[in-house]
Amino acid sequence: MAEVLSQDEIDALLSAISTGEVNLEEAKSIEEEKKVKVYDFKRPDKLSKDQLRTIQMIHETFARLNTTMLSAQLRSAIQIQVISVDQITYEEFIRSIPEFTILGIFDVGSLEGNAILEMNPNIVYTIIDRLFGGPGEMIDLSRELTDIELTVIERVILKLLNNLKESWSNIIEVSPRIEQIESNPQFVQVVGPNEMVVLVTFEVKIGSVEGMMNICLPYPMIDPIVSKLSAQYWFSSVRKEMTKENLGALKSRLNKVNVPLIANLGKAIVSLNDLLKLKQGDVLKLNQSANKNLDISVGNKLKFKATPGTVGKKMAITIKEVLEEGSD
């Protein structure tokens, strides 16, 4: 946003230009220099800031779902949060991760190409240790996973990826499926080295152990849905019309909710002395006529007008009027 000058500042600037204190041509050249922005054609920005924010919101949901899932499965305090969403080349991604790491190559079914879920070995071995009954403390191992460990961690990764279904559901339906598990990044080539990717980085805490987890989404894979990656589309999808099944389930749950129903019979003012002397059979005169409709509240909101009466030996009311929203 341009800075707005006061009248005194404008007068001072004009005075400086007229006296030669400020060189107008020099000021123009400085302004032109400020407009020049360095652009690297080897790293073109494919997505806007708004689209990157949408991807971040999607994966914040993914992080929350997996925090709950891993906490229940490992019976330990888990915290997963998104710390960055960046556009980089695939080569930069491969160089940024350790030489020995755990890479789950997967496809999402509805989009062409493969994506990568990368997990730091510290996190992987801690998860395995917890699942095998250990304390889940820091383990510094740089060895290949055994067949049993590979099977265990593959199931964990699949459970993590399954939560992409819900987090991406407002944009596109996905069905993640693991293609392979690798430990050497040099053996994984899902796109060309100079192809742009979206890198979503998570910080994972399992007890006292911390590590990083990354999801690498190649741009060619998400290109068909780029137009949907906007906050407006995402929020409008969240408010999409409910299906009959969802509406029926919601009504069924609401029917089981207990709410207080209060019939206001009237009020009476008595002294504390009279209140203490009350006994069975005493009558209090209320300020409400027996022939006048009573106020019936649901919770703390006035909802009905009714007349009092009895059904057998029990007190009852007959609804005479339903008050609509905004009625007096």
CB contact at 8 A, 119 and 211: yes
Q: Which domains does the chain have, with CATH numbers?
A: 49-239 (3.40.1550.10), 259-276+285-322 (2.30.330.10)
Q: What CA–CA distance (Å, rounded) separates 119 from 123?
A: 7
Cβ neighbours for 58, distance < 8 A, ≥ 6 positions apart: 167, 168, 170, 171, 234
User: For 202-248, what is each residue's pLDDT tens digit?
Assistant: 999 988 888 899 999 999 998 888 888 876 665 555 555 455 666 77
Q: What CA–CA distance (Å, rounded) separates 300 from 277?
A: 32
Per-residue pLDDT at 283 exceeds 50: yes
Band the pLDDT of 2: cuts 50, 70, 90: very low
Per-residue pLDDT at 96 exceeds 80: yes
**Least confident among 41-55, 107-121, 177-191, 312-326:** 41-55
- pLDDT averaged over the chain? 81
C-alpha distances (whole Å) from 136 to each of 63, 74, 129, 139, 143 are 20, 9, 5, 8, 18
Whose structure tokens read 């302004």?
31
Per-residue pLDDT at 162 exceeds 60: yes
> What's the average model confidence in pLDDT over 16-23?
66
User: For 181-192, what is each residue's pLDDT tens digit?
Assistant: 988 888 888 888
> What's the average model confidence in pLDDT over 76-83?
90
Per-residue pLDDT at 307 exceeds 70: yes
Residue 41 per-residue DSSP state: T
Share of the chain above pLDDT 70, in %: 79
Q: Which segment, 30-34, 131-135, 254-258, is predicted with the most confidence on average? A: 131-135
Per-residue pLDDT at 317 exceeds 50: yes
Band the pLDDT of 292: cuts 50, 70, 90: confident
Q: Are strands 196-206 and 314-322 parallel, antiparallel or unpaired?
A: unpaired
pLDDT higher at 8 or 297:
297
